[in-house]
Structure 1
Amino acid sequence: MAQNPRTSETDTTPTAAPNSGLSRRSYVRSLAAAATAVTTLGAAGTAAAQDDYEVIEAENQAITIGDGETWENKLIDMTTGQDITITAEGSNWTIRNVGFKGENTSGTGSATFGVMDTGGSSTIENVYLGDGSDERNGSSSGHGQTAFWVNPDHAGHIDFRNVNIQGFADNAIYGSAPGNGAGGTVHIDRCYAANCYVSHFRLATEGSKVTNSSVYVDNQDYVGRGIWAWSPGTVEVENCQIEMNGHNTAIDAGANGQGTTVVVSDTDYDEQAGIAEHAGSNVRLEGDSGTNPEAFIPSGTPTSPEEAAAGSNE
């Protein structure tokens, strides 16, 4: 994928524009037995048994997850060249054990996941989006495909755990919109993001944080910010490795003329990429923080689509 040269200080909203009327074909694959093909027309397939996962071919469909639902053990086949969007709304829902196989070449510029919790606590865990997206953008905003977008109406809490995102043309986890909305919180823990554009982890609200996670950028794919903190803050960064190899900015605070506060503890960041403080922002370094980062994929975070879908790394 070509490196995306565009920059933006604007909090644009990726649009998810799926054709919800399209059917999808799926089949369940057992790790212990031969695959058995089935066809389903619903938005979500049947629950998979242990060591099983459902394979869903991307056909521009929309899947919606609601109150208290669990959507798990899915392998999304992106080699179709088409898109898929997953929307989670309501409260106390769970997304886990989901792997995306193949680069997203749909060119739609959508957000693969659009998520919010209306007042409870929801979870996204053990997800692999490491095959990335191309740089095309059919949307009127953004720079291309976003992995996760948190809706500004998010008022509850969302935990991201053991998520692997690489090579996306727009933000990896775009979690700053609630800062200008309902004020919900986001906690990114034991996650890995690499070579995405705009930013890798983007947060805004008091109580939102990145912990035990890594960001890696080299000269492959896209070179976005490491962590981007928006108003109002305070955003916390703890026990993270932000290895930028001199690209862009490691920790960027503030945007659109509004400042914020970032508290960084026990974290190593790339000194050459450095820290940027805009509009009166303050990045406060605490604990054993330094400038010798060594990014790594945290233990328990999937390294392949199949591993994620099967939950075999748990």
Structure 2
Amino acid sequence: MSSYSAAAQSAAASKPTKAKTAKVAKVTKAKSAPAPTRKVRSVVVRKPVVRAAPTFGQAAGLHEADDPLSLKSSVAYVLDQDTNEVLFSKNPQAVLPIASITKLMTALVVVESGLPMDEKLTVTVEDKDTEKNTGSRLAFGTTLTRAEMLHLALMSSENRAAHALGRHYPGGLTAFVAAMNAKAASLGMTDTHYVEPTGLSSRNQSSAADLAKLVDVTSQVPILRDMSTSREARVALGKRMVQFRSTNGLLANPLWDIGLQKTGFINEAGKCVVMQASMAGRKLIMVFLDSSGKSARIADAERMRKWLTSLQGDAPAAAKL
């Protein structure tokens, strides 16, 4: 064998074949390639839906009652203030929590007490809400006149203002609540009972027929008419001037002529509103209790206004349920 042939054979033996090279490359690639990642499904943890506890009216099945206006309020009552004719009635004797409508009686007792309206009252920790743990724009130490406290309680439904009014009554809060219940009894409000002056307690209860009596009386007190229908007020809280507004949007509606009003809300009572208003040539007292939905009480009042206006000139056939 020539030296060339021997060298060639030796080179051929040492040179890898294509198949061998591919096999080695494949093994190398397999060793160097990263391990495939395993897809992990993301799990979304949803918070359980906590349903609000039913209002007293819902629990009693009052919302199941049908009415010709399809109201969202389980209780509705409309009375002609001059003739005492009932124009609309839905569950009028149902006794339910009345929330901040309580403040109408609070205001009436304060006014009839004859206590000086310019006397300065101070909000203290005793006025803190221990029922619902709500806050307030009236910090502890805030000092306002009795008239200013009354205004904020009626217009903006300030709970600490209402509580301070009761606490500064002769004999304190206990005597004040007793005066509230005594006044209710004197007005023939037999379904009504109060345990505190703000309405935060669900034990403050009444019926629509009873509340109509309260609205009738309070609407004849000029200071209560003016304060309850005030749309806004600037009050000095320390060195700051703070703007307070009414809780009733209907006061800004030119289609409404409201002489007195009060709104209310706690979970047990739902949305509530009482009013004295002039429409369709009449002075009317309107009560809506236990309304479901953020704006439902206002929508119910609008439905009632349109229905009553459509009857103008006719003798309204009272709707009673």
Common fold: TM-score over 0.5: no
Which structure is higher in strand share? 1
Structure of higher CA gyration radius: 2
- Report 1 or 2 for greater relative contact order, CA contacts < 8 Å, sequence distance ≥ 6: 2
Which structure is higher in helix share? 2
TM-score computed with the length of structure 1 as normaliser: 0.27
